[in-house]
Amino acid sequence: MNQIEKCTILIIGAGPIGLETAIELKARGHRPVVIDAGAIGQQIVDFPPMTRWFSSADRLGIGGLPFVTSASEKGTREEYLAYLRMAVEYFDLDVRTFQRVQGIQRSDDGPFTISSVTLSGLSKSFQADALVLATGGTARSRRLGVPGEDLPHVHVRFSEPHRFYGRRLVIVGGKNSACDAAVFAQRCGADVTLVCRGRSIHPRVKYWIRPELEAMIKSGQVRALYETEVVSIDAEKVMLRSAADQTVHEIDADDVYLAIGFESDCSLFESIGARLEGEARSVFHDPKTMETSVGDLYVAGTAVAGTQARFRVYIENSHIHAKRIAAALSGETPPEEPDYPLLPES
């Protein structure tokens, strides 16, 4: 039988800002419940092994708990996942993982009813007086819109470079993810071709990635095809078109990695009638409280910005969201807008 569990505040999303919101609420005497369709920090789980953060460790800590790394360097995927697990234990948070939300309903101004299903197929429902959506902004990959992009050897996440050893890998994209993947894969013995629409790799590629990739391209370890777009993909080849003269040619490929960015999943906001704005589908909200156009429904973290063409909302400038929501739900004065330092790494 599907029983309904009652709670005052439910947070959907167990990423860093969802967890930090729970920490801030608990510090004010609330008992929030956090659920997530995946693991704690699932979007970070999807990073390749030993990926280093672009941000320095001091900008990634949550709830006042320092994130300390070896030699004070930028943290790795593994270090940060361990840190998030420690934060959940340290603050004794109530987190339920692998519990996917299937629907949100509300009658007038009453409580929200949230239906979910576990990984094993059990149905679970919650009733909450207030709801926080901290669902992130990278739910699904952008699409090329070309034939063959759904073939099984076409990847949208670069989870393990070892699997590409000895294989001809075509990477589509010219920003950080594509460039980082090209370096990782080449080191692991892949035959790498980088396909970019621009005249070069993107000018904002991080300063610790660019020199090594450029050296690999110059030495011929990585092939780079600039001003080139994908026309189609088949089982053995990728068809390409040159932007300069519109000529079409093909290259061999055992695997294709589409590093062309991600889109936000706004379906939960849409299902409850929250107002979304613009092409990015950013979430309309009160900047002092993070409350959306739906009363008692709040947004936290990168979900607020919808699909970002260039990331302007990220962990570093989303910590304040947790404090705003906790203050609003505790009847406190909204916190002052922080004076953010320059974030050249982000």
Region 86-101 average pLDDT: 98
Report residue 262 as tokens. 């991600």
Report residue 325 as tokens. 């929501």
Question: Where does residue 24 rank: exposed (0-12), middle (13-18), buried (19+ CB within 10 A)?
Answer: buried
74 or 236, which is more confident = 236
Give the angle 13-91-264 at the CA atoms, nearest 5°.
Answer: 15
- Confirm if 45 and 38 have CB atoms less than 8 A apart: yes
3-state secondary structure string, the chain? CCCEEEEEEEEECCCHHHHHHHHHHHHCCCCCEEECCCCCCHHHHCCCCCCECCCCHHHCCECCECCCCHHHCCCEHHHHHHHHHHHHHHCCCEEECCEEEEEEEECCCCCEEEEEEECCCCEEEEEEEEEEECCCCCCEECCCCCCCCCCCCEECCCCCHHHHCCCEEEEECCCHHHHHHHHHHHHCCCEEEEECCCCCCCCCCCCCCHHHHHHHHHHCCEEEECCEEEEEECCCEEEEEECCCCCEEEEECCEEEECCCEECCCHHHHHCCCCEECCCCEECECCCCCEECCCCEEECHHHHHCCCCCCCCCHHHCHHHHHHHHHHHCCCCCCCCCCCCCCCCC
What's the distance, CA 153 to chain centroid?
A: 23
pLDDT for residue 109: 84
- Confirm if 80 and 41 have CB atoms less than 8 A apart: yes
344 or 147, which is more confident = 147
Q: What are phi and psi of 157, to 5 degrees?
A: -130, 140
> How many angstroms separate the CA atoms of 129 and 213, rounded?
51
Region 255-281 average pLDDT: 94
Region 251-257 average pLDDT: 98
pLDDT for residue 60: 94
pLDDT for residue 51: 86
Q: What are 190-207's pLDDT values in tens digits?
A: 999 999 999 999 998 988
Residues in contact with 310: Cβ distance below 8 Å, sequence separation at least 6, in sequence order: none
Task: Check pLDDT > 80 for residue 1.
Answer: no
pLDDT for residue 244: 86
Q: What is the mean pLDDT of the chain?
A: 94
> How many angstroms separate the CA atoms of 38 and 285, rounded?
26
Task: Check pLDDT > 70 for residue 342.
Answer: no
Q: What are 95-108's pLDDT values in tens digits?
A: 999 999 999 999 88
Confidence class of residue 283 from pLDDT cuts 50, 70 and 90? very high
**All domains in the chain, ordered by first residue:** 4-139+262-329 (3.50.50.60), 143-258 (3.50.50.60)
- Confirm if 130 and 330 have CB atoms less than 8 A apart: no
Token pair 């239906």 is found at: 115
Report residue 22 as tokens. 């729970």
Q: What percent of the chain has pLDDT over 90?
A: 82
Region 41-48 average pLDDT: 92
> How many angstroms separate the CA atoms of 192 and 227, rounded?
17
pLDDT for residue 346: 46
Residues in contact with 108: Cβ distance below 8 Å, sequence separation at least 6, in sequence order: none
Q: What are 108-158's pLDDT values in tens digits?
A: 889 999 999 999 999 999 999 999 999 998 888 899 999 999 999 999 999
